Amino acid sequence: MNVIRCDEEEYMVWKWRPEGQEVNSTSRENSIRYGSSLRVKDGEVAVFVYKQSNGAVQDFVEGPYDDTIKTANFPVLSSIVGLAFGGESPFQAEVYFINLAGNNQLRFAVPYFDVFDPRLPDHGVPMSVRGTITFNISDYKGFIKLNRLINFDHEQFLKQIKAALSKYVKGIVMNVPQEMGIPVVQMERQILNINNKVEEYLKPRLENDFGVNMKGLDISALEIDKESPYYGELRQLTAGNTARTMNAQTDVNIQNLKDTQRINAENMEETLRIQREEAQRAQRLQTETNFMGAHSLDQQTEVLKTGAQSLGQMGSMEMGSHGGGGMNPAGMMTGMMMGGAMGQQIAGMMNNMGQNMQQAMNTPPPMPNVQYHVSVNGAQAGPFNMQQLAQMAQSGQLTKQSYVWKQGMANWEFAGNVPELASLFAPPVPGSMPPPPPPPTV
C-alpha cells in the first residue's frame, strides 16, 4: 500500500508520485491502490484530481489528516473504485500538495539600473535593490485557477513575478531623488518610505494576478555602484553642500545662544532696577507716614494759637463796649468755654499723635522682595518671588534638587541646601489642611 504524503521543506505546489516513479515515466505514476494511507500535515492541503466522463474533478483534503483512502472519505471515488477494480486494483488520480504555511519567504534582487540626481540630470548612477517578500497561499482554490497544478517552487514563482517586481521597484526608486529632493548618495535614508510605496503597488498585483497573499515587503539594501564614474562627483557635491549647511546651522545656533544670553541679562538688569525703585518708594512712603502726625500737629497748633489770639481780642472788645475797665462776666464765660474746647482739642491732638507714633514704632518694615532664578532643564527661568516659589514647590515644579540662584550668591545651589527656602519643602502640619467634607445628608 502507498503512503501519500509530502516531505518537502520548501515548496508551493508539489506532485506526489509512488516511490520509484519518475515524471512521465509510466501511467503508474498516478496509480493509487485502494486502502492506501493519506497524511496531510497542518498547513497543507492535498488535491486529488480525477478524470471522469464530464471532465476533471478535484477533491480537497485540508490538514491535519491521517487516514486510509476509502469511498466513505471520498464520495467521488465511488464511481471509480468499485466492482470494476474489485476493491484492490489501483485507480488513476493525480495528487498535489499545496503549502499553506503562514510565512513563505522569497528573496529577490533587482540588478543595477540608473538613478539620476536632479542636480546632475545627465549623470546616471547604477543602483541595485535587494530584499525579501513574505507571503502565503490563503485561497488555494483561487490559486489553482490562476496557476496550473504542476510542481511549483519558490524559484519558479519568482520567475513569474520577476517582471512585475522589477517594474514597481524601478518605478519607485528612480523617482525618489526628484520627488523627495534628496541626493542619490543619501537615498537609503528614505528606505522606509521607498519600501512602503513599492509594497503599496506590488501587493494587489500579487493577490489578483498570482493568487498569493503578500504579508510584507522588506527592502534590505539600496546598493550604489561605487565604481561608477559619476559616483565620486556626486558624493563630493553632496558632501560639500552638507558641510556648508552644517556650518551655516552652527552659526545660526551660536547667534541664537548669544541673543538669548543678552536678552536674559537685560531682563535681569531691568528686574533688579524695578526692585530697587520699588524698595526706595516703599521706604519714602513709610518715612512720610511716620512724620505725617507731627506735621498735622504743627498745623493744628497754629490754628489754636490764632484762635486764642482771637479770643483775647474778643474779650477786650467786650470789655470796651461797656465803657469801662470793669469785669465782663459774659466775655469771661465765653473765653472759658472756648478755652476748654481748645484744651480738649489740643489734648485729642496730642493723644492721636502719640498713638500714631506708637503705631509707627510697632509697624514692621516692609518685607524684602526676595527673588530667585530657577534652572529648568538646563535653561534659566525667573526670577520668582517667595509666593511663586511656594506654588511651584506644591505643584512639584520646584524640588530640593532644583538649582536656584539669587543676587549675592556666588554659584547655583540646590534649593534644599538654601535655609531661606527650607520651609517650602517642610511637610504640612497636622490640622493645617481641612479634612474631607462630610457625606451629603439624605
pLDDT at 330: 53
Q: What is the structure's pLDDT at 87? A: 44
**C-alpha distance from residue 307 to each of 15, 164, 343 (Å):** 137, 120, 12
**pLDDT tens track, the chain, 442 positions:** 578 888 888 788 888 877 655 555 545 556 676 677 889 999 888 888 777 666 677 788 888 988 887 655 555 555 444 433 444 456 677 888 888 877 888 899 999 999 998 788 788 889 999 999 998 888 888 887 777 666 677 788 888 888 889 999 999 999 988 888 888 888 888 899 999 999 999 999 988 888 888 999 999 999 999 888 888 888 777 665 555 566 667 778 878 888 888 888 888 888 888 988 888 888 888 877 766 666 666 666 676 666 666 655 655 554 444 445 555 555 555 555 655 555 566 566 566 666 665 665 566 655 566 788 888 877 888 788 888 888 888 888 888 888 889 888 888 888 888 888 888 888 766 665 666 677 777 5
pLDDT of residue 201: 92
Write down the pTM of the prediction: 0.46
**What pLDDT score was predicted for residue 244?**
59
Number of other CB atoms surrounding residue 93 within 10 Å: 23
Buried b (16+ CB within 10 A) or exposed e, 350-377: eeebeebeeeeeeeeeeeeeebbbbeee
Whole-angstrom distance, CA of residue 369 vs CA of residue 382: 14
Q: What is the pLDDT of residue 349?
A: 59
Q: How far is CA 24 from CA 27, 29, 30, 53, 126, in A?
A: 7, 7, 10, 23, 46
pLDDT of residue 128: 94
pLDDT of residue 278: 87
37-40 vs 3-4, strand pairing mode: parallel
Cell numbers found for residue 408: 549675592
